[in-house]
Amino acid sequence: MAHPLTRGLDIDDTRTTHLRLRIIQEKSFLRQIYQEWYRAIVAALPQDQGAVLELGTGGGFMSDFIPDLITSEIFYCPNIRAVLDGSRFTLVAESLRGIVMTDVLHHLPQPRHFFY
């Protein structure tokens, strides 16, 4: 069920990531779903001051909804601020207001381990 633009590309290929953003922007139904998710995520974030980290930014556009969002991906993409592996980094307690993600767990080889 791959989109014609991404058919034959690896799910974690940077070209796939870039094309997915294009697909979301061009399909109003998909764009509206993401906008709804992003609004719900913003509403659930603590109202405190502080940075918010998005893991697996990929083809998303959550930075349109969260000012100064630290976008990240496991590989370099033009729309990200940090290259990192969300399952292999440590943070100082209370250094972030929140960590957010959408469409990420299916990219992890062992999703349950991510939460340990």
pLDDT for the residue numbered 87: 76
pLDDT for the residue numbered 10: 81
In contact, 59 and 18? CB cutoff 8 Å: yes
In contact, 54 and 72? CB cutoff 8 Å: yes
pLDDT for the residue numbered 1: 57
pLDDT for the residue numbered 42: 96
Q: Phi first, then psi: give them for residue 105, nearest 5 degrees.
A: -60, -30
All residue ranges of the chain with pLDDT < 50 are none
pLDDT for the residue numbered 5: 80
Count Cβ atoms below 10 Å from residue 7 Cβ, excluding itself.
8
